[in-house]
Amino acid sequence: MSRRTSLREFQEHLSSRLAGAAQGETTSSLLGAQAGKTLWLLDLSESGEIVPPPPMTSVPLTTPAFSGLANIRGNLYAVTDFPAFLGEAPTPPQAPGARLLLVGVRHGNNAALLVSRLLGLKNPADFSVEPAPPEAPAWNTASLIDKDGCKWRRLDLGALLSDPRFINIVA
């Protein structure tokens, strides 16, 4: 099977799972994403659409983590480079594997996260859960360890989208 076919099948499967979640079907899947060196897990029902990064228009006098505005099918999305927001090196939008997660739609805004790459659907049963460190922001709700011993972080999108540091893009 070619890489193109595999990616297409993955996207079709993910789209059907997202559609089921939007219709109220319960799902126990998490979406894995990498932001710089950090592995994140998002509730599939909240993760939104995934698209390759389109050209973005920069906005003057904004924070370095704010990548700019992206036009996706006639709708403007405010794009935050998630690794840069976390204090890591920025993700070039043209980097292989870079994707936009349109995370704000379910929360009433057009916010998007630029991530380094997607890591597919994950089963919560495959992780052991530890509480997030006390210094972790409210949107980092837990630390999870997979069967291979890799550490993941759980991302609460609603809390991230209401975090003043995330909202305030003015430099």
Q: What is the DSSP letter of 62?
A: B
Q: What is the DSSP letter of 98?
A: -
CATH number of the domain at 12, please.
Answer: 2.40.50.180
8 A C-beta contact, residue 113 and residue 47: no
**In angstroms, what CA-CA distances link 107 with 73, 114, 131?**
19, 17, 25
For the chain, what is the domain count? 1
Alpha helices (H) in the chain, listed in sequence order? 3-22, 82-85, 157-161, 164-167
Tokens read off for 17: 């799972």
pTM (global) more than 0.75: yes
Give per-residue pLDDT as tens, 87-109.
Answer: 999 999 999 999 999 998 888 89
Q: Is the pLDDT of residue 148 over 60?
A: yes
136: containing domain: 3-167
Give per-residue pLDDT as tens, 9-68.
Answer: 666 666 666 665 555 544 469 999 999 999 999 998 888 899 999 999 999 999 999 999
Please give the pLDDT value at position 48: 85
Q: Which strand (E) or helix (H) includes residue 152? A: strand 151-155
